[in-house]
Structure 1
Amino acid sequence: MLDLLGHSDEARIGEIARQAASRSAGADSERRFRDLLQALPAAIYTTDAEGRITFFNQACIDFAGRTPEAGAMWCVTWKLYLPDGTPLPHDECPMAIALKQNRPVRDVEAVAERPDGSRICFMPYPTPLRDERGRLVGAVNMLVDITARKQAEQRMMLLAYEVDHRSNNLLAVTQAMLRLTKAETAAEFQAAFQGRLSALANVQRLFSASRWTGASLKTIVEDELRPYAGGDGERISITGDDIRLPATLAQSIAVAVHELATNAAKYGSLSTPSGRLEIRWETNGAEPLVLHWSERGGPRVDEPPTRKGFGIGAVDGIIRTLRGRVTRWWKPEGLVCELSFPEA
């Protein structure tokens, strides 16, 4: 049959065959390209030159929390915002800018809101697509979720602020202790001041161990009183539910308990083998935190001490800075003290 065809007919048939083969190869190439985009974990979609969405992968659906409608314009997301929360119209989004200005858009951030109200911080990478003559035929965009990174940055900022605030607070407490510490000799001063610094250091250690979520009141009290507990553990009674304390309150209670324990070891119930100490705390509506300190079995107390040293003055001063209250009763069997704090 081919013998009946002229050379021109053969040429046309050959050209038709080549075009069909080219279209088939192009279709295969496009199919492989789409399969590749579907396999990628990144959200990727394409548009035509007018901004109509022509393709999106499964990662786009997961990213947007919805399946974009056919012929949707500019972006697969439901709502868009700038990083400061200002609404961003879709026709002003990075993809729209890339198509309208025929240029890639880089180094911008945006926030996408899903239909369920959840939000994602992301960076878009819209890039124009051109044919062999350089004419704009569409664009491709990749949406990179940076929510975890932004949350980490926010945590770092909060941590830096917390460290700065905590450092200033700690320096203020240290300066107050230095100013109020009284001693007859340099050695006595060093011993007294070092003990108070150790109480503060223990609180910082507790905050570090809890990743700065709070310091345990029970642990603070147990740590300060452990050196005086004795072998049987019955010399000191500690009662109360565990409470997480913020930094300022934890530091103040640590110093107060340290001073009360030091004075009890020098002059009160912890200065004799028969002495006993009971410490307990409770919370109620009137005072969120009330700590009770009760000594017995030590040297008899006939009258309140006349000398007001750091152990009394500093505790009073520190508690007052928290708008708290200190009440003491000098009973014959020993000191009874109550520390009330308006905010636990």
Structure 2
Amino acid sequence: MDRFSTYFDDSDISKNHDAEHISIIKEEYFSRLIEFIPAIIYTCDVEGRITYYNKAAANFWGANPKIGKDYYYTGWKAFTIEGDPLEIEKTPIAKALKEGKSFNEEIIIENVEGKRFYVECRPKPLFNTSGKLIGLLNSCVDFTKYHMINNKEKEK
């Protein structure tokens, strides 16, 4: 019995269904789960083209990128946490793709609507079974409201 058995009771699946069907159900469940996680989550290929994103990512970008065509940086600008412009090539995502290792950094992103978000980016390189880099998974934690609260308290 696996750790998902509480979510997918095998007794409900008739004898005519095979393990592949169960796997598809589990995949759909976790895809839906990721879709509604409030964290910004997306994947891209080694060139930086978006291969998946959740609703939080679309809200973050202020747009719905075209899968396989748009790049993770399409339409936004990056800044250091101090507010200085940051070249796309120096973002944690770009560095993770170039160097094949994880980078956790706080940056500011200005989306296509001009909204600024203070985020901690946590890009994780993805490798195939041969150890070749095939893309990355990025999750960003939006701490904009906490940044604003802290700045208001400092002004007092």
Task: Give the TM-score of the pair, scaled to structure 1.
Answer: 0.36
1:56 is aligned, of 34, 53, 58, to: 53
Report the Cα distance in structure 2 between the residues aligned to 1:76 and 1:33, rounded to whole angstroms.
Answer: 27
**TM-superposition CA deviations, 1:69-98 (whole Å, max 9, x none):** 332223466222122222223333211111
Report the Cα distance in structure 1 between the residues aligned to 2:89 and 2:25, rounded to whole angstroms.
Answer: 33
Are the aligned partners of 1:79 and 1:114 in contact in 2 as well (CA < 8 Å)? yes
Matched, 1:72 2:37: no
Report the Cα distance in structure 2 between the residues aligned to 1:152 and 1:143, rounded to whole angstroms.
Answer: 19
**AA matched with 2:30:** F
When the two structures are aligned, how many residues end up with a matched partner? Answer: 138
Are the aligned partners of 1:74 and 1:91 in contact in 2 as well (CA < 8 Å)? no
The match for 2:153 is 156
Mapping of residues 15-54 of structure 1, within 5 Å: 30-54=27-51
2:91 is aligned, of 93, 96, 105, to: 93
Report the Cα distance in structure 2 between the residues aligned to 1:59 and 1:95, rounded to whole angstroms.
Answer: 17
Report the Cα distance in structure 2 between the residues aligned to 1:142 and 1:57, rounded to whole angstroms.
Answer: 10
The verdict on how the C-alpha distance between 1:77 and 1:59 changes in structure 2, with shifts beyond 3 A counting, is farther
Task: Give the TM-score of the pair, scaled to structure 2.
Answer: 0.75
**TM-superposition CA deviations, 1:238-264 (whole Å, max 9, x none):** xxxxxxxxxxxxxxxxxxxxxxxxxxx
1:134 is aligned, of 131, 135, 138, to: 131
**AA matched with 1:73:** Y
Query: Highest CA radius of gyration, 1 or 2?
Result: 1
Structure 1: gaps spanning 5 or more residues: 1-20, 160-344
The match for 1:116 is 113
Tell me the SS of whatever aligns to 1:148: helix
Greater strand content? 2
Tell me the SS of whatever aligns to 1:109: strand
Identity %: 31
Are the aligned partners of 1:130 and 1:137 in contact in 2 as well (CA < 8 Å)? yes
**AA matched with 2:47:** E
The verdict on how the C-alpha distance between 1:136 and 1:100 changes in structure 2, with shifts beyond 3 A counting, is same
Query: Offset of 1:35 from its aligned partner?
Result: 2.0
The verdict on how the C-alpha distance between 1:89 and 1:35 changes in structure 2, with shifts beyond 3 A counting, is same
Which structure ranks higher in relative contact order (CA pairs < 8 Å, sequence separation ≥ 6)?
A: 2
Structure 2: gaps spanning 5 or more residues: 1-17
**AA matched with 2:45:** D
Are the aligned partners of 2:75 and 2:112 in contact in 1 as well (CA < 8 Å)? no
Greater helix content? 1
**AA matched with 1:155:** K
The match for 1:146 is 143
